[in-house]
Amino acid sequence: MTNNVTTFGDNAAESASNAAAKVTDKAAQVKDKVDANRQNAAQGLEQAASTIRDKAQSLPGGETVSDLAHSAADKLAATAGYVREHDVNTMMADVETLVKNNPGPALLAAAVVGFLVGRAFSGTD
């Protein structure tokens, strides 16, 4: 009986170890993929900022709306610079620090993003 328990325990430990190794491998693959696409993401953010700046003057609402559009474009451009200059490990550490320092807003933002992603994948409007 003890031999069966030992064998079961050894098998469970080996399975857990294999699962952990697979998760680690997948995480490394995701990290590499994100790092490989950082430049494209930064370029897309810069293009969005440029488009917003180009259209800001023609938006209805006058100077206030135009100023808000320019402010949003500036934030997008700053984000593009951040994405271009920082690797995934640094960005994840920054997100972790942000969440630790602001747990309430981070939870709210996660809920909103989760809701929007859920709506996007459900196909309902």
Q: Who's near 72: CB < 8 A, 6+ residues apart?
A: 52
Domain definitions of the chain by residue range:
1-85, 87-125
How is 105-116 classified by DSSP, letter by letter?
A: HHHHHHHHHHHH
- Model pTM? 0.59
Q: What is the spatial distance between Cα 65 and Cα 56, in angstroms, rounded to a whole number?
A: 8
* pLDDT single digits (tens) 52-110: 999 988 888 889 999 999 999 999 999 999 999 998 889 889 989 999 999 999 999 98
Q: Which residue has the higher pLDDT, 67 or 22?
A: 67
- The mean predicted confidence, pLDDT, of the chain is 85
Choice between 47 and 34, residue whose per-residue pLDDT is larger = 47
pLDDT for residue 3 is more than 80: no
